Structure 1
């Protein structure tokens, strides 16, 4: 959903910039504008003296401008932080059992867990993503099920097998998981 929001927001920002900058660019290139165009010539200004000073004496003008700019800045910073935030866990904190801790690369744990999940009876393919904090990881597993697989049995084998083994191996008190299953689709083939 964030990817869709980013694309819509970028498209709207682009449209606003084209709508505001396009007329100025066309006039600057020396093209004669039609009568309904915002600006009529190369020496025309963007804002007239009257437009720039119309609300200057009003008590509400500057607080409104400052509040709108502050809101725009906060929204831009929130958007930047959400885009730059890591969605995958880089490392997992592992309890070694002797009072010490070690760091395990998140991609390594994802690869092992995906291989173990793909080996479960009834699973054709598995994809694993770790998120959350390094001492409290959350697992998101996407499974492609074989045609004969029973989802309930496959989920039981996954949770008692690979997920339980990964939790015990990392020394985690719990390893929450979200599992998405979808059936394998076959195309119809002509039999001769």
Structure 2
């Protein structure tokens, strides 16, 4: 959902900035001002002295300006953190048994799981995504099944094979997994 909200907000902000910036540029280059434009001509300033100082003596003006700007800054920071925040753990800690410990790259675990899952009987391709926290990783597995594959057998083989190997190798107590199955569609071939 966040991706959709992000795209809509970026699109709206870009559209508003493009319309306003394009209007200012066009009027500055001598084009006639549109009907909604608040100024008369090309040499008119955006804010004259009267407009800039109109509310200066009012007691509510500066607190309102500061509050609006603070809300805008907080919303911008929230948006930036939501976009930048990692949704995937970069590494998974391993217990080596000697008290030192080590770490396994998340992408390496994803790749190993995907390769082993794609070798299962009835699986054409496999994609694995590691999610969750560093200490409690989760996986999302997408399996593209061949037409002859039995989904129940394939899921059991996935749980007993690649997922069990990954859980045991990383020393994890559990590796919760969400699995999606898709049937591979083959184009019909003409037999002569």
Into which bin does the TM-score normalised by the smaller protein fall? 0.7 to 0.9
2:131 match: secondary structure: strand
Q: Tell me, which stretches of 5 or more residues in structure 2 are unaligned? A: none
2:179 match: secondary structure: strand
Partner of 2:71: 71
Query: Quick one: structure 1 residues 156 and 20, their matched pair in 2 at CA, closer, same or farther if it must change by over 3 Å?
Result: same
Cα distance in 1 for partners of 2:111, 2:72 equals: 41
Give the superposition deviation at 1:50: 4.0
Query: Quick one: structure 1 residues 36 and 140, their matched pair in 2 at CA, closer, same or farther if it must change by over 3 Å?
Result: closer
Query: Quick one: structure 1 residues 23 and 39, their matched pair in 2 at CA, closer, same or farther if it must change by over 3 Å?
Result: farther
Query: Quick one: structure 1 residues 151 and 64, their matched pair in 2 at CA, closer, same or farther if it must change by over 3 Å?
Result: farther
Is 1:115 the counterpart of 2:115 in the alignment?
yes
- Note the aligned Cα RMSD (angstroms): 2.1
8 Å CA contact 1:144–1:182 kept in 2: the answer is yes
Cα distance in 2 for partners of 1:51, 1:190 equals: 77
Q: Tell me, which stretches of 5 or more residues in structure 1 are unaligned? A: none
Partner of 1:24: 24
Partner of 1:41: 41
Cα distance in 1 for partners of 2:73, 2:167 equals: 42
User: Given the two structures, how large is their TM-score scaled by the length of structure 2?
Assistant: 0.87
Cα distance in 2 for partners of 1:190, 1:40 equals: 71
Partner of 1:85: 85
1:185 match: secondary structure: coil
2:46 match: secondary structure: coil
Cα distance in 1 for partners of 2:56, 2:124 equals: 68
Partner of 1:170: 170
Cα distance in 1 for partners of 2:103, 2:189 equals: 49
Partner of 1:185: 185
Query: Quick one: structure 1 residues 40 and 171, their matched pair in 2 at CA, closer, same or farther if it must change by over 3 Å?
Result: same
Cα distance in 2 for partners of 1:175, 1:13 equals: 41
Partner of 2:11: 11
Partner of 2:148: 148
1:74-100, CA deviations, whole angstroms, 9 ceiling, x for partnerless residues? 111112112222233221101112333
User: Given the two structures, how large is their TM-score scaled by the length of structure 1?
Assistant: 0.87
Cα distance in 1 for partners of 2:189, 2:6 equals: 41
Give the superposition deviation at 1:36: 5.5
Task: State the aligned residue count.
Answer: 192
Cα distance in 1 for partners of 2:36, 2:136 equals: 61
